[in-house]
């Protein structure tokens, strides 16, 4: 019966002014009847009607329609951008507070596109963390770099940026990013730098550039971590010395490989033992 009466009311409103319809929609909204409010506003493309519909969608927890209409409104009414963004900022904070990550990203990126100055600085870190978790490393780097403009001392962000660069194949850039920090007193930074130095050194080693390989492999050895790469770094340093006929130093590095693998069947262990024999045959 109530729906029937509402249908009759809509027919009677057909000839009413937009102002009357808007007032009625507000009444329905105050009476906790958002669907009726939306029905009354159907077909009204005025700014006030669209703004009210945006609020209704968000209050009904229909964020996708609310965001779509917000984006349309920003294009249709550029002079009202501030008011529309104020609504989006309000619901962005709610989404973040409730831990709704995907929805928060939608709010933040919509606001960012319209006016980045309205965002909280932490929003950029939030976006970086979100896209890093989604393995979208290019976007993660974009937003992390903006966040570092506010807090250049954030170690976790720098490490995530370095890992993102590594995933994208920019290992040397990742290494330089971390080396530009006070890394010697931070275990996580030392670990990442030691790891990156090893892989850069190995790349140079495989390409035949022994001088550059030596620099990075020695850094991994000097740092001492990651432990799992120490035997490999020492083995390749032994090979470099062997290729230079520096058999005494080669033996020193090969012995370190053996020392690091006392109870292991590592192929590096067997190779190191064989190389020591060759060095001694050469007079090392």
pLDDT at 265: 77
Residues 108 and 142 in one domain: no
Residues 222 and 266 in one domain: yes
Residues 133 and 61 in one domain: no
* Position 3 confidence tier, pLDDT thresholds 50, 70, 90: low
Q: pLDDT, tens digit, for every residue of 32-78?
A: 777 887 887 787 888 998 998 999 999 888 889 999 999 999 999 99
Residues 65 and 39 in one domain: yes
Would 175 be classed as within a structural domain?
Answer: no
Residues 82 and 137 in one domain: no
Residues 211 and 157 in one domain: no
Residues 279 and 217 in one domain: yes
Would 8 be classed as within a structural domain?
Answer: no
Across 99-106, average pLDDT: 96
- Residues 63, 91 contacting (CB under 8 angstroms): yes
Would 156 be classed as within a structural domain?
Answer: yes
pLDDT at 146: 96
Could you tell me the residue range of the domain that residue 128 belongs to? 120-170
Would 32 be classed as within a structural domain?
Answer: yes
Residues 160 and 220 in one domain: no
Burial code (b: 16+ CB inside 10 Å, e: under 16) for 107-137 equals bbbbbbebeeebbeeebbbbbbbbbbeeeeb
Q: What's the gap between Cα 209 and its chain centre? A: 34
Could you tell me the pTM of the whole model? 0.83
Choose the final residue of a domain: 170, 205, 238: 170
Residues 127 and 108 in one domain: no
Percent of the chain with pLDDT strictly greater than 70: 90
Whole-angstrom Cα distance, residue 88 to residue 108?
8
Choose the final residue of a domain: 89, 115, 141: 115
pLDDT of 182 above 70: yes
- Residues 35, 25 contacting (CB under 8 angstroms): no
Would 225 be classed as within a structural domain?
Answer: yes
Write the CATH number for 67. Answer: 1.25.40.10
Residues 207 and 257 in one domain: yes
pLDDT at 6: 46
Residues 105 and 138 in one domain: no
Would 44 be classed as within a structural domain?
Answer: yes
Q: pLDDT, tens digit, for every residue of 130-143?
A: 999 999 999 999 99
Which is nearest to 76 in space by CA: 41, 44, 103, 108?
44
φ/ψ region of 147 (left if φ > 0, alpha if ψ in -120 to 50, else beta) reads alpha
Residues 39 and 128 in one domain: no
Tokens standing for 58?
């968000």
Choose the final residue of a domain: 98, 115, 132: 115
The number of distinct structural domains making up the chain is 3
């Amino acid at each position: 019966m109530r729906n029937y009466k509402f249908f009759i009311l809509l027919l009677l409103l057909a000839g009413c002014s937009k102002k009357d319809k808007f007032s009625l929609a507000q009444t329905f909204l105050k009476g906790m009847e958002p669907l009726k409010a939306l029905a009354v506003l159907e077909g009204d493309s005025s700014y006030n009607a669209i703004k009210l519909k945006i609020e209704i969608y968000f209050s009904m927890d229909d964020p996708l329609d609310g965001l779509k209409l917000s984006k349309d409104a920003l294009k249709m009414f550029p002079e009202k951008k501030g008011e529309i963004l104020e609504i989006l900022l309000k619901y962005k904070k709610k989404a973040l507070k409730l831990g709704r990550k995907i929805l928060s990203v939608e709010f933040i990126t919509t606001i960012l596109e319209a006016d980045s100055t309205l965002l909280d600085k932490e929003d950029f870190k939030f976006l970086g963390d979100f896209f890093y978790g989604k393995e979208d490393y290019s976007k993660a780097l974009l937003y992390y770099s903006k966040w570092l403009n506010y807090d250049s001392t954030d170690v976790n962000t720098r490490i995530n940026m370095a890992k993102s660069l590594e995933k994208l194949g920019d290992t040397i850039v990742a290494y330089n990013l971390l080396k530009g920090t006070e890394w010697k007193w931070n275990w996580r930074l030392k670990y990442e730098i030691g790891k990156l130095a090893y892989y850069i050194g190995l790349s140079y080693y495989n390409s035949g550039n022994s001088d550059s390989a030596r620099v990075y492999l020695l850094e991994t050895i000097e740092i001492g971590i990651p432990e799992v790469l120490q035997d490999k770094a020492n083995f390749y340093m032994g090979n470099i010395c062997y290729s230079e006929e520096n058999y005494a130093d080669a033996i020193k590095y090969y012995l370190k490989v053996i020392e690091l693998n006392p109870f292991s069947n590592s192929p590096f262990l067997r190779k190191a033992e064989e190389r020591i024999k060759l060095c001694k045959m050469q007079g090392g």
